Structure 1
Amino acid sequence: MTGELEGRVALVTGAGRGIGAAIARGFAERGALVVGAARSKDQLEELAAEDPEHIFAAAVDLRDEASLSGLVDLVVERHGRIDVLVNNAGVAPAADFVHEPVQQWRDTLAVNVIAPMALAQAAGRHFIAQGGGKIINIASTTGVRGKPGLVGYSASKGAVLRFTESLAAEWARHGVQVNCIAPGAFGTDAQRAVLESPDLLARRVRRIPARRMGEVSELVPLACLLAAPGSDFINGSVFVVDGGESGKL
């Protein structure tokens, strides 16, 4: 891999598995110093063990607001700065909306909206002081177009899209770029029920023009571009990566 992220310091949430782990690995392979954060301590430690020179594990519950600014402080104390924040961690509880508990919405918003906001605010203080930084929010195509059975999740990811656009406009003058990746159907644990059922998988794939689900590795080059200096004029953008599903009539 090339070293286009050499020496840059990144915090990646939800790094224990799936998209977050893939992005953390991709950043490290390109020379970045990565702090991977998640609740799953064992998975994080396995990730860090793959490349201890570049990846450090930080177990944290993103529902605990008091720990969020401390997470950014940990990154800065360890590496002296922070250049990139990837807000990837998320929860997607399925529910029949008429019976969905309010507390489930609170939990979903805490992880999917409040945590990215608090981490961006904490990282932003450093970005503004040092003259620049990158925030990459991971949303979902359900934030672009709502999905039945995932009303709370869809609403939270829609909020992430507006958060991305608004913050990008507000902080552009400080040299901070805020962008968003909205994945469609990818082969992660969140899709386990689909992946384990040939019938469900076939039905799901038929809705995707590419006729397959995405691989998490296919999100890494885009994330690396948005983290690199070469993307300094890309700001407030939402990149839908879904094999063409959102674009079909």
Structure 2
Amino acid sequence: MDLRLRDTVVLVTGASRGLGAAIAVELAAEGAYVVAAARSRDGLREVEAKGDGRISAVEADMRDEAAVAGLVEKVVERHGRIDGLINNAGIAPAGKFVDQDPQVWKDTLAVNVIAPMLLAQAAGRHMIAQGGGRIVNIASTTGLRGKPVLVGYSTSKGAVIRMTEALAAEWASKNIQVNAIAPGAFVTEAQKAVLESPELLRRRVAKIPAGRMADPAELVPLACLLVSPLSSFTSGATFVVDGGEVGKL
């Protein structure tokens, strides 16, 4: 199927590894021009090298509001427009709630909520002016069901889902679609501690009806579809990709 992504322009954050890197590479393979943003210079170089000239990298720390606010302008300066935004960057510091420093929460909300808000706002201005666009927020199943020792992360992802719904309603008349994806357990560096411990891995997989963790490639097609013109009547939805885990709860 032709997703009609050729020569569209998409900004992907958290694109130096994991889900963000996989999404960026596939978008480029579909013919899009991708601006990949992340903190890791080395990771961005690897992703850029896989883009056949269609991926350009920009270093940015999502905790730096000034840097985040300027990302969209860099995309527009480079390509003349922005058709899609995928807010993928996120952090998930674990710890017992009673002992957590408030700064941990401030950093989590800065990366997981404030940065996507600033990027959506900046991208939205251009999308309204150019007649439309698509925003995809990568949330989490923990935004649907709270998780112990990830209280701050769960809170932030719940906020992202509500923002998705409200913004979709506000911008529907502007031909801007806003959706979210809530991934479950994927084989990425974020799950390194689980993947390196046979016992933790066994316990984690036991909670998933599909009986395994997912490969990033299993989320990529959905992300590409939601940022393509083919999803022009899909907005305000949160798509769960978790092997049936939330449905079992």
Q: Fold match, TM over 0.5?
A: yes
- Which letter does structure 1 place at the counterpart of 2:131? G
Kindly provide the CA deviation profile for residues 57-90 of structure 1, in whole angstroms up to 9, marking residues without a partner as x: 0001111101122110110011110000000000
Distance, in Å, in 2 between the alignment partners of 1:99 and 1:202 is 28
Q: Which residue of structure 2 aligns with residue 169 of structure 1?
A: 169
Q: Which residue of structure 2 aligns with residue 188 of structure 1?
A: 188
Deviation of residue 3 (structure 1)?
6.0
Q: Could you state the TM-score of these two structures normalised by the residue count of structure 1?
A: 0.98
Distance, in Å, in 2 between the alignment partners of 1:52 and 1:4 is 18
Distance, in Å, in 1 between the alignment partners of 2:124 and 2:51 is 27
2:126 matches 1:126: yes
2:105 matches 1:112: no
Distance, in Å, in 2 between the alignment partners of 1:108 and 1:171 is 26
- Which letter does structure 2 place at the counterpart of 1:12? V
- Does the 8 A contact of 2:3 with 2:228 survive in 1? no
Distance, in Å, in 1 between the alignment partners of 2:46 and 2:146 is 35
Kindly provide the CA deviation profile for residues 154-200 of structure 1, in whole angstroms up to 9, marking residues without a partner as x: 00000000000000000000000000000001111111111011111
Q: Which residue of structure 2 aligns with residue 54 of structure 1?
A: 54
Identity %: 67
Find the residue that maps to 2:245 and give its secondary structure: coil
Distance, in Å, in 1 between the alignment partners of 2:156 and 2:56 is 29
Superposition CA RMSD, Å: 1.0
Distance, in Å, in 1 between the alignment partners of 2:108 and 2:67 is 17
- Which letter does structure 1 place at the counterpart of 2:95? A
Q: Which residue of structure 2 aligns with residue 87 of structure 1?
A: 87
The within-5 A match list for 1:18-97 is: 18-97=18-97
The within-5 A match list for 1:213-224 is: 213-224=213-224
- Does the 8 A contact of 1:65 with 1:115 survive in 2? yes
- Does the 8 A contact of 2:16 with 2:38 survive in 1? yes
Distance, in Å, in 2 between the alignment partners of 1:115 and 1:188 is 22
Kindly provide the CA deviation profile for residues 12-41 of structure 1, in whole angstroms up to 9, marking residues without a partner as x: 000000000000011001000000000001
- Does the 8 A contact of 1:37 with 1:57 survive in 2? yes
- Which letter does structure 1 place at the counterpart of 2:187? G
Q: Which residue of structure 1 aligns with residue 8 of structure 2?
A: 8
Using the TM superposition, name which of 49-58 and 160-169 deviates more. Answer: 49-58
Kindly provide the CA deviation profile for residues 89-110 of structure 1, in whole angstroms up to 9, marking residues without a partner as x: 0000001100100011000000
Distance, in Å, in 1 between the alignment partners of 2:32 and 2:18 is 19
Distance, in Å, in 1 between the alignment partners of 2:213 and 2:52 is 31
Deviation of residue 4 (structure 1)?
2.8
Find the residue that maps to 2:239 and give its secondary structure: strand
Deviation of residue 52 (structure 1)?
4.5
Distance, in Å, in 1 between the alignment partners of 2:50 and 2:21 is 11
- Does the 8 A contact of 2:171 with 2:177 survive in 1? yes
Deviation of residue 5 (structure 1)?
0.8
- Does the 8 A contact of 1:112 with 1:156 survive in 2? yes
User: Structure 2 regions of 5+ residues with no counterpart?
Assistant: none
Find the residue that maps to 1:177 and give its secondary structure: strand
The within-5 A match list for 1:223-234 is: 223-234=223-234
Distance, in Å, in 2 between the alignment partners of 1:116 and 1:175 is 19
Deviation of residue 53 (structure 1)?
1.4
- Does the 8 A contact of 1:91 with 1:111 survive in 2? yes
User: Structure 1 regions of 5+ residues with no counterpart?
Assistant: none
Find the residue that maps to 1:247 and give its secondary structure: helix
